[in-house]
């Protein structure tokens, strides 16, 4: 049973560019949450998707957007990249309204903005 997978593993972009990160949830999970983790800090919640809709959002600008597909996989898009967007981006999956108190995290995508 595959856990949460993310791609790519590492990514290097320059300021002003756009980036798309991908996440496949754990088998049977229908809810995907995205977190940003800056170096030396704990993960910060970006947003959560359930039934292909954004259900919750953290304190992140509109440059951060997402999408969830019918197969529950998800994408995180960041436009107009800033140096401060350099971080580890984590995807977590869980069961939504059906229950499940545990969020399973993927290994993350390391984004470097130059």
Binding of residue 60 to another protein (CB under 8 A): no
Binding of residue 86 to another protein (CB under 8 A): no
Residues in the interface with another protein (CB under 8 A) total: 31
Residue 69 to residue 105: CA distance in whole angstroms: 19
Binding of residue 55 to another protein (CB under 8 A): yes
In the list 17, 18, 56, 77, the residue contacting another protein (rule: CB under 8 A) is: 56
The residue (of 65 and 100) whose beta carbon lies closer to another protein is: 100
E strands along the chain, which residues?
5-7, 10-13, 19-24, 31-37, 44-50, 53-57, 64-68, 74-78, 87-94, 104-105, 109-113
Binding of residue 42 to another protein (CB under 8 A): yes
SS3 (DSSP) at 84: helix
Which candidate, 40, 46, 44, places its Cα nearest to that of 77?
A: 46
The residue (of 45 and 79) whose beta carbon lies closer to another protein is: 45
Binding of residue 45 to another protein (CB under 8 A): yes
Q: What contacts 45, CB < 8 A, 6 or more positions away?
A: 33, 34, 35, 56, 58
Binding site for another protein (CB under 8 A): 4, 31, 33, 35, 40-45, 48, 50, 55-56, 58, 90, 92, 94-97, 99-108
């Amino acid at each position: 049973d595959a856990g949460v997978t993310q791609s790519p593993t590492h990514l290097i972009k320059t300021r002003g560019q756009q980036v798309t990160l991908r996440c496949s949830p754990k088998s049977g999970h229908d809810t995907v949450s995205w977190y940003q983790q800056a170096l030396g800090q704990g993960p910060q919640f970006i947003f959560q998707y359930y039934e292909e809709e954004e259900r919750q959002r953290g304190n992140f600008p509109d440059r951060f957007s997402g999408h969830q597909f019918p197969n529950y996989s998800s994408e995180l898009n960041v436009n107009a990249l800033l140096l401060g967007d350099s971080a580890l981006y984590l995807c977590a999956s869980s069961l939504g309204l059906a229950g499940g108190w545990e969020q399973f995290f993927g290994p993350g995508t390391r984004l470097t903005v130059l």
